[in-house]
Each structure stands twice: as structure tokens, then as C-alpha cells.
């Protein structure tokens, strides 16, 4: 986060590649890329090279682990944290 903030402050472009991390770490990379202005989102290769390592997450985030048209997709709901749960705020 600090390196991304520094780079943006100095007019640099950001790129994010998570080429080998599957499952939860791929979810983390996708969530990070969704919040930080990168040149091209994030490149995640684990669905191609280690698909079995994503089994536990495939049904939970099919758009991320079942690629269509060469693009990873996150759900439209607001995603909070690494678990990717939608947040609901209540006032007390």
C-alpha cells in the first residue's frame, strides 16, 4: 500500500501480477487491484496453471476462477476483507 501510494503520488503507473498464488491469496490480489488504480487490473495465472489449488474458492467466486473472455470478474456486491463477504452496516 505504501509503495502504491508513493508511486501514484509521483505520477507512476501501477501494475499488479499475482502469477503463482492460488485460492485466498488470489482473492486478496483481486480485491487489492479493485481498489488501487492499476494499468490493467490484475493478472492471476493460478486458474490456468494450478486449477486444483482453487477448488475451495471456485464456487464462491466463479468469475474470478472461471475465466471468460480472458478477464477475471469480481461480483458487483461490495466486498470486504479477504473472505469477500458483502458488508451490511447497522446503526446502534
Q: Cell triple for residue 14?
A: 501501477
Where do the domains of the chain lie? 16-83
Residue whose C-alpha cell is 486478496: 28
Confidence category of residue 87, pLDDT binned at 50, 70, 90? very low
Confidence category of residue 81, pLDDT binned at 50, 70, 90? low
Per residue in 23-59, pLDDT (tens digit) is 888 888 888 888 888 887 788 888 888 889 999 988 8
Q: Cell triple for residue 3?
A: 509503495
Chain center to CA of 77: 14
Q: Rounded distance, CA 79 to CA 86, Å?
A: 5
Strand (E) positions, 26-76? 43-44
Q: Rounded distance, CA 32 to CA 69, Å?
A: 22
Using a cut of 0.85, tell me whether the model's pTM lies above it: no
Amino acid at each position: 500500500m505504501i509503495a502504491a501510494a508513493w508511486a501514484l503520488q509521483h505520477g507512476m503507473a501501477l501494475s499488479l501480477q499475482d502469477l503463482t498464488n492460488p485460492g485466498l491469496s488470489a482473492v486478496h490480489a483481486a480485491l487489492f487491484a479493485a481498489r488501487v488504480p492499476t494499468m490493467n487490473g490484475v493478472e492471476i495465472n493460478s486458474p490456468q496453471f494450478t486449477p486444483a489449488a482453487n477448488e475451495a474458492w471456485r464456487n464462491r467466486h466463479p468469475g474470478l476462477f472461471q475465466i471468460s473472455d480472458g478477464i477475471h470478474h469480481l461480483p458487483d456486491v461490495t466486498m470486504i476483507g479477504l473472505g469477500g463477504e458483502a458488508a451490511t452496516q447497522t446503526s446502534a
